[in-house]
Amino acid sequence: MSNLDLRPAPTVCGGRADVTARPVRDLLAAKPVMLGESTEVRRLLPSMGRRMVGAWCFVDHYGPDDIEREPGMQVPPHPHIGLQTVSWLHDGEVLHRDSLGSEQVLRPRELGLMTSGRAIAHAEQSPREHAKLLHGAQLWVALPDAHRHTAPSWEHHAELPQVSGGGGLSATVILGDLDGARSPGTTFTPLMGADITLAAGTDTRLPLQPDFEYAALTMSGEAEVDGVRLAPGSLLYLGCGRRELPLRATVDSAFMLLGGEPFEERIVMWWNFVGRTHEDIAQAREDWVSGTRFGEVSPYEGAPLPAPELPPVPLKARGRTR
Ligand code: MN
């Protein structure tokens, strides 16, 4: 997925200043954003209250939308640098195509993991023949400086480790590890992501790493996370310093748990790019406009996404600001 804002605001983030060292329960408000003409998403990161959770730096939640008579998701070819994209579905399917020649239909609870490294372009579309409902999340992970110029790659993992926590909890490990089970997805910083299902009547505790910060993105039902009952499409920031997370549900519920070691490096995010300086971002934009560096998404019917104008003030990685 892409940031389709016509006037994307630069986001400066990273560093320890904004990390909450103790457990908190900070509910972040979603911002509705139109993705193309037909899909509205809820942007939960970056938000007014928080920019990152570990290396997770971008979270959109969408659906469930009835797209039976709609084109569904239609995101034309667009570029990325300095990040990984994580595509995760609960309903429907998304056709991914990228400038490496990858072509993959993603289905619910399969991991689509794209490492942009120095440069990649991709398109994401609902296939012409698609399911009635589309429901999922699109997330980005910032790459650390040592790996942000790495070669681009695409990974599709249809088989992911399952964790049965007992007491009505079951989980799919998306990235990193949870309770001893490890995802095959490539990571570059200590982080984790899991899809957690709570059956009606669940009352349990999930082991966590105290040096990670965590957040819960609710997908369906009404999960009660550390005593906070959450409607779908909410992001609850949980802070650091937790060894376990109390979980309850009175109806069948699902949420994504995102966590990671607080990201020490300062980064600049603008449009679909993660860099360290204004020059990184301006050069990437220039290379997209001139048709170099990113390669072509082929076949694709239609025009690639045009780059928005850079803001008039230089982008600066000044620290974590709200
Ligand atoms: Mn994208």
- The arithmetic mean of pLDDT across residues 174-183, rounded, is 96
244: CA distance to ligand 1 center in Å?
33
Q: Which residues contact 84 (CB under 8 A, 6 or more apart)?
A: 113, 114, 115, 116, 140, 141, 143, 186, 188
123: CA distance to ligand 1 center in Å?
7
pLDDT at 320: 46
75: CA distance to ligand 1 center in Å?
8
- pLDDT over 90 for what percent of the chain? 84
| All residues with CB under 5 Å from ion ligand 1 | 1-2
- The arithmetic mean of pLDDT across residues 116-127, rounded, is 97
pLDDT at 19: 72
Tell me if residue 73 falls in helix, strand or coil.
coil
21: CA distance to ligand 1 center in Å?
31
271: CA distance to ligand 1 center in Å?
10
Q: State the maximum Cα–Cα separation within the chain, in Å, rounded to a whole number.
A: 56
pLDDT at 54: 96
1: CA distance to ligand 1 center in Å?
4
Closest CA to 271 of 294, 298, 255: 294
pLDDT at 171: 98
88: CA distance to ligand 1 center in Å?
13
122: CA distance to ligand 1 center in Å?
6
Are the CB atoms for 263 and 277 separated by under 8 Å?
Answer: no
Best-predicted range by mean pLDDT (19-33, 40-54, 186-200) = 186-200
162: CA distance to ligand 1 center in Å?
27
pLDDT at 4: 65
- The arithmetic mean of pLDDT across residues 187-203, rounded, is 98
Are the CB atoms for 121 and 289 separated by under 8 Å?
Answer: no
Helical H segments across the chain, by residue range: 278-289
User: Is residue 151 scored above 60 in pLDDT?
Assistant: yes
CATH dotted code for 20-260? 2.60.120.10
User: Is residue 277 scored above 80 in pLDDT?
Assistant: yes
66: CA distance to ligand 1 center in Å?
22
Closest CA to 79 of 320, 311, 262, 289: 289
User: Is residue 37 scored above 90 in pLDDT?
Assistant: no
Q: What are phi and psi of 147, to 5 degrees?
A: -125, 5
Tell me how far apart the alpha carbons of residues 192 and 214 are, in angstroms, rounded to a whole number.
9
Tell me how far apart the alpha carbons of residues 12 and 213 are, in angstroms, rounded to a whole number.
19
Closest CA to 87 of 36, 17, 23, 134: 134
Mean pLDDT of the chain: 93
58: CA distance to ligand 1 center in Å?
11
Closest CA to 89 of 160, 190, 154: 160
Looking at per-residue confidence, does 314 or 117 come out higher? Answer: 117
Supply 51's token pair: 């920019």
Closest CA to 139 of 298, 259, 304, 292: 259
300: CA distance to ligand 1 center in Å?
15
- CA 181 to chain CA mean position, Å: 21
User: Is residue 319 scored above 60 in pLDDT?
Assistant: no
78: CA distance to ligand 1 center in Å?
6
pTM to 2 decimal places: 0.93
| Residue 321: band (very low, low, confident or very high) from pLDDT cuts 50, 70, 90 | very low
80: CA distance to ligand 1 center in Å?
7
102: CA distance to ligand 1 center in Å?
14
pLDDT in tens, 47-88: 877 899 999 999 999 999 999 999 999 999 999 999 999 999
Supply 137's token pair: 């999340």
Q: Strands across the sheet with 162-166, in order?
A: 23-28, 235-239, 213-220, 253-260, 191-198, 169-175, 162-166
- The arithmetic mean of pLDDT across residues 229-254, rounded, is 96
DSSP 275-289: ESSHHHHHHHHHHHH
Measure Cα distances from 184 to 204, 213, 229 in Å.
26, 22, 32
Q: How many CB atoms within 10 Å of residue 301?
A: 7
